[in-house]
Homo-oligomer: A and B are copies of this chain.
Amino acid sequence: MFEDKNPELTPISKLGEFGLIKHLTEFFPLSNESSEVGVGDDAAVVNPGNRKVVLTTDVLAEGVHFNLGYVPLKHLGYKAVVVNLSDIAAMNATPTQILVSIAVSNRFPVEALEEIYSGIQAACGRYKVDLIGGDTTSSNSGLVMSITAVGIEKEENIVRRNGAKPNDLLVVTGDLGGAYMGLQILEREHTVFLANPNMQPEMEGFDYILERQLKPEARTDVKGILEQLDIKPTSMIDISDGLASEILHLSDQSNVGFRLYEEKIPMDNLTITTADDFNLNPVMAALSGGEDYELLFTISSNDFDKIKNHPDFTIIGHAVEKEDGNFMVARGSNQLVALTAQGWDAFLGNQKED
């Protein structure tokens, strides 16, 4: 797809490493007060004032995390930023800066990198984070993006995974399973396209779940909403690998168990009908699909009245004693189904139950 057969495309070697970085980052002005030195020195300088610095890093690798056959490069750049900002949001912190490293084979022209950076720029604008550093290098094959996100936050606001207590309520933002069903649509249409390149992909009507997959958003808004509700979560994590896997992480680190109520899991209608079309159980898409980038957190049961009718949040269960284990209470019965980490694993591929 990106073989340099078009003589109007610019080979990366024409700009060289320094020229390339300068070219790609020139439209990234620093806008946060805390960003003192950006791209162009040996290192960037951030001034956190008297606050804490929150740091996370995520790699996306071609053929593992994305398929350039159906993921537009601009979306890839956007998503690569978002998945990192989601981790900062999951600490209840405010993202402020990113550093972007890209290893890319010479089959990519400069224009392909420009597309990726236009997506990065869109995310920086949307989330008000500054690009302050990075590295761009060639690789022997494929595209690997590694982004480090920085957040700055007052100590008292930071929420870890380890503070849940028995009887705390388990709460999730938004709806789940959509990103996974969007991926199924993309993979189906890509398979059809490979078999017959004249076929038009049938994407119509799937906008919401395609966007959940291709252009997810980080729930950086949740921190402000919770502050307004006067709620500080006792533990928090983002949903990158699937609800079940994230519940087990909170369980592990908070030393509690959980009860999850199947009937409470929030799902969009399109997720449910698409899952039906694929003969998949939509609950499995929510439990194990991953990539929803919603936030999962626990709050004291004393906060129940503050949150119970809020449209952004769904109470899906509660914490129990560690020895009571992690179980989903099946819809319409009291049957307990053990929660297992069947989430997405880059080394195993998508091991889904259906």
Residues of A with Cβ closer than 8 Å to B? Answer: 12-13, 15-18, 20, 36-37, 40-50, 52-59, 61-65, 87-88, 90-91, 93, 97, 99, 101-103, 106, 132-142, 144, 146, 148-151, 155, 158, 160-162, 236-238, 253, 341, 345-348
Contacts and interface: CB of A to CB of B under 8 A. Distances in A.
B148 A99 contact: yes
B133 A41 contact: no
Taken together, the copies of this chain in the complex come to 2
A65 B62 CA distance: 20
Contacts of A155: 47
Contacts of A53: 45-48, 53, 150
A137 to B, nearest CB: 4
A236 B148 CA distance: 25
A63 B141 CA distance: 10
A42 B238 contact: yes
A91 B43 contact: yes
B48 A48 contact: yes
Contacts of A99: 55-57, 148
Contact of A139 (B18, B36, B142, B238): B142
A160 B37 CA distance: 9
Contact of A45 (B54, B97, B133): B54
6 contacts: A43-B93, A44-B54, A45-B52, A46-B53, A64-B140, A138-B346
A38 B99 CA distance: 19
A51 to B, nearest CB: 9
A269 to B, nearest CB: 30
A224 B162 CA distance: 39
A58 B144 contact: no
Contact of A55 (B40, B44, B87, B160): B44
Given A17-B347, A55-B99, A148-B148, A43 B138 contact: no
B64 A138 contact: yes
A20 B346 CA distance: 11
Contacts of A103: 59, 61, 64, 144, 146
Contact of A142 (B57, B87, B141): B141
Contacts of A48: 48, 52-53
Nearest to A20: B347
B44 A56 contact: yes
Contacts of A91: 41-43, 45
A282 to B, nearest CB: 25
B52 A46 contact: yes
B57 A148 contact: yes
Given A57-B101, A161-B41, A141 B138 contact: no
A345 B47 contact: no
Nearest to A245: B18
A55 B36 contact: no
